[in-house]
Amino acid sequence: MYDFPLTIQHIFWRVEKLYPESEIVSRSNKIEKMSYREFALRVRKLSSFLKSLKLEKGDKVASIEWNTRRHLELYFATTNMGYILHTINVRFHPNEIEYVINHAGDKFVFTSPEFEISKLKTSLSGIFYLDENFDKAVEMQKPIDSFPQLDEKDEAVICYTSGTTGKPKGIMYTHRSIYIHSLTLLAKDAVGISRNDTLLVVVPMFHINGWDLPFSALMTGAKLVLPGPRPTSKDLAELIEKEKVTIAAAAPTIWIDFLNFIEKENYNISSLKTVVTGGAEPPRIIAEKFNKMGIRLYHAWGMTETEAITTVNQDQEKISSQGIPLPGIEMKLVSLDNEKELPWDGESIGELWVSGAWVAKEYYKEAEKSKETFRVIDNRIWLKTGDIATIDKYGYIKIVDRAKDLIKSGGEWISSIDLENAIMSYYKVFEAAVVAVKDEKWGERPVALVVPKKEYQGKITESEIKEYLLSLNRFPKWWIPDKVLFVNELPKTSTGKLDKKVIRELVKNM
């Protein structure tokens, strides 16, 4: 059997040959629409432009950009030419941007004009600003006739972690890993994208390839909608209504805002059938509200190290669970004490280890950190996720907490995630975070930081939250936070997750 190379070049072949009339919609200062045929021509011209820079196979080209068609063009032009695209998180501090550019060894950066990077101390050969002048420069290029022959194991994209436990760490994605992951997402038991769908990708293209969803959409000829920089709930509602979006993907915080907005405004979002969320466990109230509108919520789980999605949960009754592993992924539960494998009984708690077709094998140029996180067992590479979980007899995974976020009180474990989701189910609460504080008697005790909804600011009390938690009959009394502190907002990481490290420092000073 011929080993056909599974590369991004083949996805591009499908774009040109099979779906030339499919559409890409991109919001920036205005709404732009182009066919796949027009997009493919732009990619070929941009490829010629890149070639003129005297880049060689394996050279790294960085992007600092939002979810736009210019970014999508870079996705394909760089990788089709055998270069490695380094998608830089736009929310990184300038010092972090400087660090990852130098650590990756980027040759050029293509950036939105809003990001000033010329003063950073880097060894870059050049900076290009993604604006109308850049479009004109690309338009003048002759389309490249053919792309170099690539191996599916060639590296295609490098993405850095959010750096919550030190400096950001680089993860390399290959053509093969991107192709297989993108293909898997088309399955009905995954995201289920088809030629007939319109996909709105809100998850950032600057982190984990927008979960590979842009590649999936173009692989199957779906209409792709890119919401541009800093989309508001109003922007999303307008795009869903006007473009008849059927599937949309975003972090839970985006959907919380969106639901609060849509309940008060008059938009027709009846085309929307599926909402995908990941990055954090979605509060049950999100699923309930979407379900009432006839929309199904899919809970996806993954990490930068797993090229995002490794499990999907479509069961609306167990939406807090991370679901079961996708085809191509295997998982096991390992004891924190001796690394022995634990049973799938829904009760045993251990660290989740992952292995599979799109799971990384190491951190880029980080040998020591790689040894700590990746294990080779019987020629199989396993990723130690750092997530504490249970797995039931049906393979449903429930992440209890991050290992570093679990609260140990009187020798017993308390899940910060369970408490956060319970607090967020209260009708007056917009967002919540629970962290541990040191306690002389119990070792650690939970403290909650709560952001009230705007209409309830100053109209919610600590005792109200505690009484609500007890009324749920889900938690023993010793789980209830000792303190509930009200704040206007919660610190987030560059990937939009709660920054527990900063929150713990805040609590110390309150």
Active site residues: 161, 305, 408, 413
3-class state of residue 129 by DSSP? strand
Please tell me the distance from the alpha carbon of residue 181 to that of residue 494, in angstroms, as a whole number.
Answer: 24
Amino acid occupying residue 42 = R
Name the residue among 176, 183, 240 with its Cα closest to residue 215: 183
| 79 and 152 Cβ atoms separated by less than 8 Å | no
- The C-alpha atoms of residue 465 and residue 430 are separated, in whole angstroms, by 13
Q: Which two tokens stand for residue 241?
A: 């209504």
Residue 449 and residue 487 in contact, taking contact as beta carbons nearer than 8 Å: yes
The SS3 of residue 474 is: coil
Buried b / exposed e along 218-256 (16+ C-beta atoms within 10 A):
bbbbbbbbbbbeebebeebbbbbbebbbbbbbbbbbbbb
Tell me which long-range contacts 454-462 makes (C-beta under 8 A, separation of at least 24). 454/430, 456/428, 459/428, 460/428, 460/429, 460/486
The answer to whether 179 and 6 are in contact (CB under 8 A) is yes
∠ CA(206), CA(212), CA(216), 5° rounding? 140
Q: Kindly tell me the sign of the dihedral angle through the C-alpha atoms of 111, 208, 10, 24.
A: negative
> Are 227 and 200 a contacting pair, CB within 8 Å?
yes
User: CA-to-CA distance for 406 and 444, rounded, in angstroms?
Assistant: 10
User: Among residues 358, 428, 423, 349, which one has the least CA distance to residue 389?
Assistant: 349
CA dist 340 → 145, 213, 324, 331, 413 (Å): 55, 36, 21, 14, 20
